[in-house]
């Protein structure tokens, strides 16, 4: 029988790797997450690497973020908070690690940012946790950190400058602006329509 991903990856090595990548990305982007938030990002990345294949069929979780949000809001007590946290985690990971793919979907990174930030804010209100308050208020910055981690983990590849510029126009990401500038483009403030 073929082993799961969690059986093939030593836990210490992935946690160390993700710890270094999160620290380097945060520093390069000028982000200063709390130690607890940095640790949470490392845990999130590690959990996603070790995740079992998705469930298919009638027991599968909702496919869209909106469906997941409705399901979470209909739940009670601790089930509601657990579902909201899982929704925030999913939105953060997908928007950060796979944000480049989202520009080709019907919803963009800003949709993921809005849903994820809202989910974490509800968890913060329900628990009084400063961690989830930080995740909610800094969601866009954490997306940028995970995007940088994803790029480093995959290795630097050729850049789709038009796609990168379109995403910058949508999100106003300082990371995307800096990447465009590194490629020699004079980038206007987000929301304007001229690039030089």
pLDDT digits (tens, 9 = 90+) for 55-98: 666 777 678 999 999 999 999 999 999 999 999 999 999 999 88
4 has a pLDDT exceeding 60: no
196 has a pLDDT exceeding 50: no
Burial class (CB in 10 A: 0-12, 13-18, 19+), 103: middle
Give the predicted TM-score (pTM) of the model.
Answer: 0.74
- For residue 96, give Cα distances in angstroms to 89, 91, 113, 143: 10, 8, 9, 4
Q: How many residues does the chain have?
A: 196
- Token readout for 57 is 């069929």
191 has a pLDDT exceeding 70: no
Give the pLDDT score at 180: 74
Give the pLDDT score at 156: 60
Higher local confidence (pLDDT), 28 or 187? 28
Calculate ∠ Cα 179-111-60, nearest 5°: 115
Give the pLDDT score at 159: 64
Higher local confidence (pLDDT), 160 or 16? 16
Residues 109, 95 contacting (CB under 8 angstroms): yes
Question: CB-based contacts of 33: which residues, under 8 Å, 6+ apart?
Answer: 26, 41, 134, 138, 141, 142, 145
pLDDT digits (tens, 9 = 90+) for 94-152: 999 887 777 666 678 889 999 999 999 999 999 999 999 999 999 999 999 999 898 88
| Lowest mean pLDDT segment, chosen from 25-39, 75-89, 102-116, 159-173 | 159-173
When computed from its CA atoms, the radius of gyration of the chain, rounded to whole angstroms, is: 17
């Amino acid at each position: 029988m073929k082993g799961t991903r969690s059986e093939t990856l030593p836990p210490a090595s992935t946690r160390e790797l993700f710890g270094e990548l999160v620290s380097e990305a945060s520093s390069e982007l000028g982000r200063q997450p709390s130690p607890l938030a940095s640790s949470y990002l490392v845990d999130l990345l590690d959990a996603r690497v070790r995740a079992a294949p998705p469930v298919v069929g009638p027991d599968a979780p909702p496919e869209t973020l909106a469906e997941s949000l409705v399901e979470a809001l209909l739940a009670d007590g601790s089930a509601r908070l657990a579902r909201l946290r899982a929704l925030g985690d999913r939105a953060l990971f997908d928007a950060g690690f796979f944000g480049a793919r989202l520009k080709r979907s019907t919803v963009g990174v800003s949709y993921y940012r809005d849903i994820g930030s809202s989910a974490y804010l509800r968890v913060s209100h329900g628990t009084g946790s400063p961690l989830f308050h930080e995740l909610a208020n800094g969601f866009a910055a954490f997306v940028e950190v995970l995007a940088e981690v994803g790029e480093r983990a995959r290795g630097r590849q050729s850049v789709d400058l038009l796609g990168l510029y379109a995403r910058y126009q949508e999100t106003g990401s300082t990371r995307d602006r800096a990447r465009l500038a590194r490629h020699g483009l004079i980038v206007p403030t987000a929301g304007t329509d001229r690039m030089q």
